[in-house]
Amino acid sequence: MKHPIQRPASRRRNHLATSITHILTGGALLLAGAVASSSAFAQEQATNLDRITVTGSNIPRTNTETPSPVQVVTRQEIDRTGKTTLAEYLQTITADGAGSIPKTFGNGFAGGGAGISLRGLGAGSTLVLLNGRRMATYGLADDGQKVFTDLSTIPLDAVERVEVLKDGASAIYGSDAIAGVVNIILRSDFQGAILRASYGTSGDGDGDAKKATLTAGTGDLATDGWNAFFSLDVGKTDAIKISDRKNRKWIGTGDTRPWGYDAADSQFLGGAYLSKGTAGGVGPNGSVFDDRNVTKDNPAFLVALPGCANLTTIPGQTDASAQAQGCLWDPAQQYRDLTPEEKYINVFGRASFAFGEGGEIYTEIGYSKKETIFSNTPSGAAGTWGYPGGVVTANSGSKATVLGPNHPDNPIPGQASRLRYSAWDVGPRVTNNTNEFNRFLVGVKGNWGDWSYDTAYLHSATDLVNKRTGFLRYSAVQCALGNPNCAGGVWRIGDNANLNSQALYDYISPTISARAKSGLDMFDFTVSRSLMDLKGGPLGLAIGTEWRKTSNSLTPQTYTDTGDIIGLGYSAYDGTQNVYAGYVELSAPVLEQLELSGALRYDKYESGEGKATPKLGVKWTPADWIALRASYAEGFRAPNPAENGDGGLAAFSNASDPVRCAIDAGECTARTVAIITRPNKDLKPEESKSYSVGIVLQPTSSTSLTVDAWQIKRTNEIAQGSTTAAIRAGNVVRDINNIGGVPNSGNILAVNTAYVNANSSRVRGIDTDIRQTFDIGPGQLEMDLQWSHVLKFERTEGDETVDYAGTHGNCDVTNCIGTPKDKINFGTTWRQGPWSVSGIANYIGKMDNTDKRGGTYQAFYEDGTPVKKISSFTTFDLSGRWNITEAFELNASVANVFDRIAPLDPTTYGGVNYNPMHFSGALGRYFTVGAKYTFK
**Phi and psi for 136 in degrees, rounded to 5?**
-65, 145
Contacts (Cβ under 8 Å, ≥6 apart) of 22: 56, 57, 59, 66, 67, 171, 172, 585, 586, 587, 597, 598, 599, 615, 617
DSSP E strand stretches across 32-151:
70-74, 126-130
Question: Over 90: is that where the pLDDT of 610 sits?
Answer: no
The residue-averaged pLDDT of 658-672 equals 76
In the prediction, which pLDDT does 111 show? 67
Separation CA 173–CA 147 (nearest Å): 17
Question: Over 60: is that where the pLDDT of 33 sits?
Answer: no
Separation CA 493–CA 499 (nearest Å): 9
Least confident interval from 2-11, 298-307, 404-413, 469-478: 2-11
- Angle subtended at Cα 462 by Cα 461 and Cα 465, rounded to the nearest 5 degrees: 155
Least confident interval from 500-509, 657-666, 729-738: 729-738
**Phi and psi for 912 in degrees, rounded to 5?**
-85, 105
In the prediction, which pLDDT does 50 show? 41
The residue-averaged pLDDT of 407-425 equals 93
The residue-averaged pLDDT of 681-710 equals 91
Name the residue type at position 320. A
> Which helix (H) or strand (E) covers residue 538, if one does?
strand 537-554
Separation CA 131–CA 162 (nearest Å): 10
The residue-averaged pLDDT of 460-465 equals 95
In the prediction, which pLDDT does 104 show? 63
In the prediction, which pLDDT does 76 show? 83
SS3 125: helix
Q: Are 617 and 588 in contact (CB under 8 A)?
A: no
In the prediction, which pLDDT does 572 show? 80
Nearest in space to 860 (alpha carbons), one of 256, 251, 246, 248: 256
Contacts (Cβ under 8 Å, ≥6 apart) of 314: 255, 328, 329, 330
User: What pairs with residue 528 in β-bridges?
Assistant: 452, 542
**Phi and psi for 686 in degrees, rounded to 5?**
-75, 145
- CA distances (Å), 312 to each of 270, 324, 424, 854, in order? 10, 16, 10, 40
Separation CA 524–CA 456 (nearest Å): 6
Least confident interval from 89-98, 185-194, 256-265, 352-361: 89-98
Q: Are 234 and 345 in contact (CB under 8 A)?
A: yes
Separation CA 501–CA 321 (nearest Å): 31
Nearest in space to 490 (alpha carbons), one of 406, 415, 571: 406
SS3 355: strand
Q: What is the pTM of this model?
A: 0.85
Interval 826-864: pLDDT, tens = 999 999 999 999 999 999 999 999 989 998 898 899 998
Portion of the chain with pLDDT greater than 90, in percent: 55
Separation CA 570–CA 641 (nearest Å): 15
Interval 466-501: pLDDT, tens = 999 999 999 999 999 999 999 999 999 999 999 999
In the prediction, which pLDDT does 668 show? 78
In the prediction, which pLDDT does 105 show? 64
In the prediction, which pLDDT does 463 show? 95
SS3 29: helix
Q: Are 856 and 907 in contact (CB under 8 A)?
A: no
In the prediction, which pLDDT does 200 show? 95
Question: Over 60: is that where the pLDDT of 362 sits?
Answer: yes
Contacts (Cβ under 8 Å, ≥6 apart) of 532: 35, 36, 38, 40, 41, 44, 46, 538, 539
The residue-averaged pLDDT of 444-470 equals 95
The residue-averaged pLDDT of 554-570 equals 89
DSSP 258: G
Question: Over 90: is that where the pLDDT of 680 sits?
Answer: no
Chain centroid to CA 591: 43
Question: Over 50: is that where the pLDDT of 12 sits?
Answer: no
Nearest in space to 228 (alpha carbons), one of 361, 133, 131: 361
The residue-averaged pLDDT of 222-235 equals 93
Separation CA 738–CA 756 (nearest Å): 31
Q: Is 748 exposed, middle or buried (0-12, 13-18, 19+ CB in 10 A)?
A: buried
SS3 620: strand
pLDDT band of residue 712 (cuts 50, 70, 90) is very high
DSSP 63: -
pLDDT band of residue 56 (cuts 50, 70, 90) is low
Interval 328-354: pLDDT, tens = 999 999 999 999 999 999 999 999 999
Average pLDDT, the chain: 85
SS3 864: coil
In the prediction, which pLDDT does 110 show? 64
897 versus 731: the higher-pLDDT residue is 897
Name the residue type at position 287. S
User: What pairs with residue 45 in β-bridges?
Assistant: none
Do β-strands 180-186 and 126-130 pair in parallel, antiparallel, or remain unpaired?
parallel
Percent composition of the chain: helix, strand, coil (DSSP 3-state, to 5): 15, 50, 40
Separation CA 379–CA 564 (nearest Å): 13
DSSP E strand stretches across 721-778:
732-734, 748-776
pLDDT band of residue 515 (cuts 50, 70, 90) is very high
Nearest in space to 418 (alpha carbons), one of 505, 328, 300: 300
Question: Over 50: is that where the pLDDT of 18 sits?
Answer: no
Full DSSP string of 470-528: S--BHHHHHHHHH-TT-TT-----GGGGGG--HHHHHHHS--EEEEEEEEEEEEEEEEE
